[in-house]
Structure 1
Amino acid sequence: MQHLLLVAATILTSDPVPEDEDVVAGWPGFVIFIGLILAVAVLGYFLTKQLKRTEANRKAGVFGPVDDEEPRDPEEPRS
Structure 2
Amino acid sequence: MHAQVMLFVLRLAEGLPEEGPAAEDVKAGWLGFSVFLLLVAAVVFLSFSLVKQLRKAQAAKDAGVYGDEPVEHPEPTGPADSADRD
Verify same fold: TM over 0.5. Answer: yes
Structure 2: give runs of 5+ residues left out of the alignment: 1-16, 72-86
Question: Does 1:42 find its partner at 2:35?
Answer: no
Instruction: Specify the alignment match of 1:77 in structure 2.
Output: none
Instruction: Find the residue that maps to 1:66 and give its secondary structure.
Output: coil
Alignment partner of 1:51 out of 40, 54, 75: 54
Name the count of aligned residue pairs. Answer: 57
Counterpart in the other structure of 1:27: 30
Between the aligned partners of 2:34 and 2:47, the Cα distance in structure 1 is 20
**Normalising to structure 1: TM-score of the pair?**
0.60
The percent of aligned pairs where both chains have the same amino acid is 43
Superposed, which structure 2 residues align to 1:50-69 within 5 Å?
50-66=53-69
Amino acid at match of 2:39: L
Whole-angstrom CA distance in 2 between matches of 1:66 and 1:30: 50
Deviation at 1:66, TM superposition (A): 3.1
Query: What is the TM-score of this pair, normalised by structure 2?
Result: 0.56
Q: Of Structure 1 and Structure 2, which has the larger fraction of its residues in helix?
A: 2
- Alpha-carbon RMSD: 2.4
